[in-house]
Structure 1
Amino acid sequence: MYHFLRSSESWLSLEGQQNVLLMHCERGGWPVLAFILAGLLLYRKQYSGEQKTLEMVYKQAPRQLLHLLSPLNPQPSQLRYLQYISRRDLGSDWPPLDTPLDLDCIILRVIPLFDGGRGCRPVVHIYGQDSSSTTATKSSKLLFSTSKTKKRARHYQQEECELVKIDIHCRVQGDVVLECIHLDNDLVREEMMFRVMFHTAFLRSNVLMLNRDEVDVLWGAKDQFPKEFKAEV
């Protein structure tokens, strides 16, 4: 995204010219286009405030369109990336060096209520850059997935445990997508619990602490997460 922002800024700022930038999206791409537009407005300092800017862009289309095109509310992760853009004002070293990170585990505090309100059986999928790719733009692939066995994918009830630790031990770098999924009793059917997208270069102290407002969840599923819910990556 950095290269897009930089080249767009250069094109729009050419002295003596009144250049325009025409953007469009394929069918279903409105959430991504809205995010890119908000990022460009913040990068060019035409707007300030990540949430205010993103909401302003989304208001250019019916609210129902976002619900139709995205099963999850993407705005928490989008706001995280917009905050990355806003940090450009804090120093000249932007974006920071893209350093690798070892994800040891994810810790859930005050677990969400799935499985008919009885608790959850969480499994984790990690997607990230394919370090073995020889192309300049590294493709994304599945880097880690919890084994779907009763030994690995345990069922937890909220009244029985305040904290759930899921071991990962996965090396990541750059953009990362973490999905936490509830696995049904048959160990086959899955239900999305939440998703988190982040970039390793912007993590502070190599830790990401999230509350229920900072993870992408299904529309209408927020009440399944207690107000005290925390996810630590």
Structure 2
Amino acid sequence: MAELVYPPVIATARAWFKALDLRFDIQGTEHVPRRGGALLVSNHISYLDFIFTGLAALPAKRLVRFMAKDSVFRHKVSGPLMRAMKHIPVDRSQGEDAYKHALKALDSGEVVGVFPEATISRSFTLKDFKSGAARLAQEARVPLVPVALWGTQRLWTKGHKRDFGRNHFPVGIRVGEALHAAPDESAAGLTSRVRERIQDLLESAQRAYPGTPNGPNDKWWLPAHMGGTAPTPAEARAM
């Protein structure tokens, strides 16, 4: 079936990126499979992360079907768009339906996007990962492609006003080599491997990041361990 909505949405996003004068540092897009089912597994630091994770799949000419909370699908504006782009609603009280939906998409050769932290990390460090992505990969026999994002939190994240001005914010995107479940590997073990790989990619993106705080009051987007004023992981859990 022809994709009537997704390509125009991508074109609009690209025009928006240009208007914002965003600068991208993207590496590793060759690791996204050009055909067949796959899971893109990313860290989560911004409300816009699905856009940037999807951007990483475009060189492979793949469209990503993201798993997102069902409230987004109930919104009068975003709902019709999400359904038209074949994203996958997740009702956290009935997660099995979303799991089956994602499994069907993977079996049909789609790329599915997952944020295993489930919610945005207020500390901008990796939270604990849910094991659902690993279980999906094992059952569908598809690879897990790790993705790390950095800088997206400066645009719009939890607890801070969105900033869509022409601030020339850099955005770092790192894609790692696909991971495959080892024979008899547990979902917990595979989840741990994916998390470790995303941590490595995140640190790589942070080291290469050219952006610096614009004064002492602009350190909120940096984690505490990097000298920023973001909550520590323990403080973020308490919040």
Same fold (TM over 0.5): no
TM-score, L = length of structure 2: 0.25
| Bigger strand share | 1
Bigger helix share: 2
TM value normalised by structure 1:
0.26
If asked which structure has higher relative contact order (CA below 8 Å, sep 6+), I would say 2
Higher Rg of the two aligned structures: 1
